[in-house]
Amino acid sequence: MKQFLVYLKFNNHTNIVDPFNKIIFCLTLLFSTNLQGQNFNIPYRKGNLWGYADTTGKIIIMPKYDSVSPENVNNRWLVFKKNKIGVINDSGREVIPVVHDFIMRNPVHSMYNEFYVSRMDKKGYTDMDGNIILPIDYKEIVKYRLFAKGNLLCFLTKKENDNNWTLVDGEKKVYLSDISAYDEIYGGYNIFAIEGKHGIYNMMEKKWMVKPLYDSIKYIPYKNKYRLKDEYKEFKYYGVLHEQLYLISEAFETKALLGKTLDDLLEQTQGENELIISKVSSSTSDAEIVSVTGSNYDEKKVFKTVNNFYQSDIRAITIVKDKNM
């Protein structure tokens, strides 16, 4: 992993970028990435128009845009003209024309970089080369990518006059309609409500694991200082039907909880070890990075925590003990 700063000055003109305000300031770009196989296009301004140069100052995309983005994902750059937005590749080809009102990369950090696109308050979806997966014809789109099923794409969609969602795949084949509510759980499973009745749906296999029979389905809640009793440890969810509770296991087997409440599932843990939790706030410069284990904490101090994936992502945490939750 290497880092370097790039500051460009060509023909006695400092080449800088501010895609939104167009305020001229010195361009200082910080790149933090693996250098092998990467192209680094640097925003280049000529007059009031923007293009890109390489790190040697050679112009590789002639200035013709009102503004351009300084960073790329998978060698795709956002470009702006006449209050519209598009996407170009490293050769300068507009893979998504500069005619859209809004474009969002999804996911931001992935080899499967794709784009939500929007025009005239309608949404669509394209792959990284601008190939249309869903046309710009929807009021709302929620994308799922199911890696366990050969990188399968599927979507929840709403059109202009729809109150409910429709589940479609990347070929626009419809699997479910009239979905009034949804809640993603894990591994390609969703809690869907159809006509007010909730069930658990396998997005990969396109089948119901728990049929939509329940007034609601939720996770079994955990409380500090409490745990599930041994006879209930296989259960992860519960459904409610006519005020009767039904337990649902990870294997999606159901069991009626006759005459009992959720509190009957839990027992208090033994011993005097309180659960230690952290309250996250904005980063703070005067905190310290520390490993907090066992009794090694101080409720009056603020510590830093560093995200394992993005080392610059620092948050302040306050350690708290609570016996009464």
Rg (CA), the chain: 26
What pLDDT is attached to residue 29?
Answer: 38
Per the CB < 8 A criterion, the answer to whether 175 and 167 are in contact is: yes
Q: Which run of H or E residues covers position 61?
A: strand 59-65
Q: How confident is the model at residue 299 (pLDDT cuts 50, 70, 90)?
A: low
SS (H, E, C) 62-85: EEEECEECCCCCCCEEEEEECCEE
Q: What is the pLDDT of residue 28?
A: 31
Return mean pLDDT, the chain. Answer: 76
For 242-265, the pLDDT digits (tens) are 989 999 999 999 999 888 888 888
d(CA 319, CA 279): 7
Distance between CA atoms of 141 and 118, rounded to whole angstroms? 11
CA nearest to 211, candidates 155, 254, 258, 178:
254
Q: Which of 70, 71, 65, 95 has the alpha carbon at shortest distance from 83?
A: 65
Tokens (6 digits) for 2:
């290497």
